[in-house]
Amino acid sequence: MNRTYTASSRTQLLLMLTPYLLGAAVLVGLPALLSLLLAFLRYDGISAPVWVGGFNFQLVLANPVDLLFPISLYNTLYFVILAVPVRVLSALALALLLSRSGRGVGLYRAAVYLPTIIPDVAYALIWMWIFNPLYGPLNLILDGLGLPTPGWLADAQYAKVVFVVMAAFQIGEGFVVLLAGLQNIPPEYYAAAAVDGGNVWQQFRYITLPLLAPWLLLLTLRDIILSSQNIFTANFIMTNGDPYYSTLFLPLLIYEEAFDRMHFGPGSAMTVLLGLVTAALIGLILSIVGSWGETDAS
């Protein structure tokens, strides 16, 4: 494509990429390496660091007394397993519903996107109020309908569910991606299917779904990795891990370990473990999108 560019142009191109590449190296690459190093140190940020080998990993993974890492890992997985399917499926359902054009559709789409733009701290406060066990609108409605009113954030059994519900309302990004994906399916496909007498379900099953599949997969994988990271602010504002560690998610534990207790070693060890899980997933994604550059020769 750029074979006609001169050498000076190529320098220009490189310069254009510099901030991005440099930023990625300094803000992501270097810290990632540093984390790896910190994981093998005892370091409190004040006294000099001491090399402790694998001690931090032992502390985090095989501690008979302090089970907070396994607990938070369990909580995080619980959240991911519930929240991700709910998020992806509702984004898909809403995209299918609102993919047509027509009067009012723009407003409906805007409404669906709206919760996504609410800043995290405000969003957390809103849901704390909605789920307030005595005065919150949700329980008042449930009570009015004669339904049971759980203690939500005050009850270890329900506290995690609150975070799932919150996450299920912030699906704007996935919704828009799938909407765009749907609109890129050539209408002729459906016309052909209609001639063949396929019903709505068959159209969905044999045309829409296969063509959306790469997007769905990508969204799912991205959500698996990021949705549990993104609840940090809500986690910090709403429960701080209570009641009794039932909402202690990994980011909060890492934050407390490093920034509150000033245990940078174990904090980094947790980070590295998190990174390993993530790396496996990234590998999977890469093998899927590796072909991108080739397929769209537009």
Partner 1 sequence: MQNRWVSFCLLMAFLFTSACGQGEVQPVSFMVFGEPAELKAYQDLVAAFEKQHPEIKVELIHIPSQGDYRKRLAADLVGGEPADVVLINYRRFSGLAIKNAFEPLGPYLEKSDLIAYDDFYALSMRAFSLNDQVICIPQNISSLVAFYNKDVFDAAGIPYPDAGWTWDDFISASKALTLDFDSDGRIDQYGAGVEPTLIRVAPFVWQNGGKVSINNALTLADPLDLEAVQWFVDWQVTHHIVPNAVEEKAESSESRFINGRTAIYFNSRRLVPTFREITAFDWDIAPLPVGRSDATILHSDAYCLPSAGKHKQAAWTFIEYANSMAGQTLVSQSGRTVPSLIQVAESDAFLDPNAKPAHSRVFLDVIPFTLRLPQQANWADIEEICDEELQRAFFGEVSALEAMQSAVKRALPLFTENE
Partner 2 sequence: MQVNSKRRIFHAIAFHAVSILISALFILPLVWMASASLRQPGLPPPRTMEWWPEPLAWSNYNRIFEMLPLGRYIFNSLLVAGIAVPITLVTASLAGFAMTQLNRRGRESLLGLSVVLLVVPTVAVWVARFILFRTLGLFNSYAALLAPALMGSSPLFVLLFFWSFRRIPRELYDAARMDGAGPLEIWWRVALPLSGATVIVVGILTFLLYWGDFTTPLFYLKSQTLYTLPVGLRQLQELDRTNWPLLLAGAMVMTLPSVLLFGIVQRFFLPENRLAGIYGQ
Contacts of 175-180 with CB under 8 Å at 24 or more apart are 175/91, 175/94, 175/95, 175/109, 175/112, 175/113, 176/113, 177/91, 177/215, 177/219, 178/91, 178/92, 178/95, 178/212, 178/215, 178/216, 178/219, 179/95, 179/98, 179/99, 179/109
What secondary structure does DSSP assign to 195-235, as a single string? HTT--HHHHIIIIIHHHHHHHHHHHHHHHHHHHHHHTHHHH
The smaller minimum CB distance to partner 1, of residues 155 and 173, is found at: 155
Helix (H) or strand (E) holding 50: strand 50-51
The smaller minimum CB distance to partner 2, of residues 141 and 209, is found at: 141
173 Cβ neighbours under 8 A, 6+ residues apart: 116
Find the part of the chain contacting partner 2 (CB under 8 A) among 50-58, 148-156, 203-211, 255-263: 255-263
Question: Which of partner 1, partner 2, none does 242 bind, CB closer than 5 to 8 A by kind?
Answer: partner 1
Establish if 60 lies at the interface with partner 2 (CB under 8 A): no
Restricting to residues 59-78, which ones interact with partner 1 according to CB under 8 A? 65-66
Restricting to residues 26-65, which ones interact with partner 1 according to CB under 8 A? 42, 44-47, 65
What secondary structure does DSSP assign to 263-283, as a single string? -HHHHHHHHHHHHHHHHHHHH
Name the token pair of 168. 């299920």
Number of residues in contact with partner 2 under rule CB under 8 A: 107
The smaller minimum CB distance to partner 1, of residues 148 and 293, is found at: 148
Establish if 120 lies at the interface with partner 2 (CB under 8 A): yes
Q: Which of 49, 115, 214, 243 binds partner 1 (CB under 8 A)?
A: 243
Find the part of the chain contacting partner 1 (CB under 8 A) among 88-96, 200-208, 256-264, 267-275: 256-264
Contact pattern for partner 1 over residues 147 through 186, marking x by CB under 8 A: ----x-xxxx------------------------------
The crossing angle, in degrees rounded to 10, of helices 137-144 and 120-130 is 30
Restricting to residues 124-143, which ones interact with partner 2 according to CB under 8 A? 125-130, 132, 134-135, 137, 140-141
Establish if 186 lies at the interface with partner 2 (CB under 8 A): no
Find the part of the chain contacting partner 1 (CB under 8 A) among 89-97, 166-174, 210-218, 261-269: 261-269
Interface residues with partner 1 (CB under 8 A) are 42, 44-47, 65-66, 132-136, 151, 153-156, 240, 242-245, 259-264
